Amino acid sequence: MEADVKTRQEILDVLDDYAAAYSSKDVRRLLSHVGPDPDVVFIGTGRDEWVAGTAALREGMLRDMAQAETIRVAFRDVSVSRAGSVAWISCGLKFDVTVADGHVIIDGRFTALLEHRDYKWFFMQAHYSVPAEDQEVGHSYPLS
């Protein structure tokens, strides 16, 4: 069910602050948007980027920050749906990163589940993926 205007704006505000916190490398602020539950899950593009719980997520974020000189994050084409205290989103997510060896742009897809608690939205699950480069348009599987 598509979210109402108020919910959509609240979620967009969370995404804006999350992007700003990532860009300023503010891990404490990033984690303020994440539920404190041990079963919170964030999945990134790296093989080892499947983390559960805020302690592991914090370590992953610190690694991201340490390996980047600058980070810019931009969400686009955000779809927001809601049922009760739960909302789910899907959108594009672009990382524009300066690393020691140069400049990297990762243009991917982002889905997340958020829960409304104590008048605030918290990420409970998030998944960032990048389309398979060797999969042609119109094909269901990458061909090698």
pTM exceeds 0.85 for this model: yes
Alpha-carbon dihedral 129, 133, 135, 140, rounded to 10 degrees: 10
pLDDT value of residue 42: 97
**Integer Cα distance of 98 and 105 in angstroms:** 9
pLDDT value of residue 139: 81
pLDDT value of residue 142: 82
pLDDT value of residue 116: 98
Are the C-beta atoms of residues 93 and 78 closer than 8 Å to each other?
Answer: no
pLDDT value of residue 58: 97
**Integer Cα distance of 137 and 98 in angstroms:** 30
97-142, pLDDT tens digit by residue? Answer: 999 999 999 999 999 999 999 999 999 999 999 988 888 888 888 8
Give the burial class of 109: count Cβ atoms within 10 A of its Cβ; 0-12 exposed, 13-18 middle, 19 or more buried.
middle
Name the CATH code of domain 5-129 (choices 1.10.260.40, 3.30.70.260, 3.10.450.50, 3.40.50.980).
3.10.450.50
37-81, pLDDT tens digit by residue? Answer: 999 999 999 999 999 999 999 999 999 999 999 999 999 999 999
Kindly calculate the radius of gyration of the chain based on its CA atoms and give it in whole angstroms.
16
pLDDT value of residue 144: 64
Residue given tokens 């404190």 in the structure block: 36
Token representation of residue 91: 């959108």
What angle (nearest 5°) sits at the alpha carbon of residue 71, between those of residues 77 and 58? 95
pLDDT value of residue 134: 81
Are the C-beta atoms of residues 82 and 4 closer than 8 Å to each other?
Answer: yes
24-43, pLDDT tens digit by residue? Answer: 999 999 999 999 999 999 99
